[in-house]
Amino acid sequence: NAFYLTSYGNNWLAIMLGGYGTAGLATYNENDFSEEIVDLAIERTRVMSEHLGTDGAWEEGPFYWGGISFLIMFFDILSSVPGFPDLLDKESFRQTPLFPIYMNMPSCGRANFSDADYWQDHNSIHILALLARKTKNPYYQWAYHEYKDVADESKPHLKDYGIKDFRTSEETYQFISYDENLKPEYPGDFPLLKVFQGNTYGFVSSRSSFGRDDESVVICASAGTNGTNHHQLDIGQIII
């Protein structure tokens, strides 16, 4: 579908390009087609990365921010191959863990703007570890530890269906991404009010503390335009 190859603000494009690009690198010396795929992935992801705000926010909201994890994984792999650029060396990627840190809610939740549910999941937790390693940021390392076990805790109803652990692949990514020498540190110096603002989005988070503390108070608001992907006429919504 050509739409997904040109819709640069759509997380599904990040998933496809990250997957195709990584597969192309794995078979790069085996055929010319793989080289073409990698070149295409680099070309398109360069454009797509411009849709990630300089403050690290993603216009589709906190849930679909997880889709860019495939883009970040591809960039991380690409940077380890001689002769290829380090596309993660941008301020927007260095800042992007701030988006889930501020938009996460107490008791394993998140600000569920757009068509998302409240409960946190494991789709992108390992990216916090990857970017903590990449930036040597102890606050991102703390966020990884804070949220890495939320999948089991936030969806207990899955046990009713005999599903006890569905995190195998994610734990593999975390094992690869994690820097055991980086000591986590609570972000006590972070301001308690944060505004994410771009051409097509606006998110506000005001909180009494960070993390999964059930005693904390968090207020989040959504602004921007309803024309953005996945926004379901919820501009102006406030979650407390």
Please check whether residue 64 is in contact with residue 229, taking contact to mean a CB–CB distance below 8 angstroms: yes
User: What local confidence, expressed as pLDDT, does residue 157 receive?
Assistant: 57
Helices (DSSP H) in the chain: which residue ranges? Answer: 2-6, 11-26, 32-48, 69-79, 91-95, 98-103, 125-135, 138-147, 150-154, 168-177
Q: Which of 107, 141, 99 is nearest to 212 (CA)?
A: 107
Q: CB within 8 A of 181, min separation 6: which ones?
A: none
109 three-state secondary structure? strand
CA torsion sign for 133, 137, 140, 146 is positive
CA distance 131 to 155: 26
Which run of H or of E encompasses 16?
A: helix 11-26
Quick check: 6 pLDDT over 80? Answer: no
134 three-state secondary structure? helix
pLDDT tens per residue, range 81-107: 888 989 888 889 999 999 999 998 887
Helices (DSSP H) in 49-124: which residue ranges? Answer: 69-79, 91-95, 98-103
Q: Across-strand partners of 223?
A: 202
Q: Across-strand partners of 239?
A: 220
User: What local confidence, expressed as pLDDT, does residue 225 receive?
Assistant: 80
User: What local confidence, expressed as pLDDT, does residue 121 receive?
Assistant: 65
Quick check: 205 pLDDT over 50? Answer: yes
pLDDT tens per residue, range 34-83: 999 999 999 988 888 888 888 999 988 888 888 888 889 999 999 988 88
Q: Work out the mean pLDDT of the chain and round it to a whole number.
A: 84
DSSP 8-state symbol, 166: -
Q: Which of 63, 99, 104 is nearest to 202 (CA)?
A: 99
User: What local confidence, expressed as pLDDT, does residue 164 receive?
Assistant: 52
Q: Which of 172, 162, 125 is nearest to 147 (CA)?
A: 125
- Which range of 17-21, 163-167, 228-232 scores highest in mean pLDDT? It is 17-21
52 three-state secondary structure? strand
Label residue 215 by pLDDT band (50, 70, 90). confident
CA distance 25 to 221: 40
pLDDT tens per residue, range 162-175: 555 545 455 666 77
Q: Establish how many alpha carbons lie within 13 A of residue 43's alpha carbon, considering only the half-sphere containing its beta carbon.
A: 8
How many residues are present in the chain? 240
Helix then strand then coil, % of the chain, to nearest 5: 45, 10, 40
Q: CB within 8 A of 84, min separation 6: which ones?
A: 42, 78
Q: Which residue has the higher pLDDT, 238 or 227?
A: 238
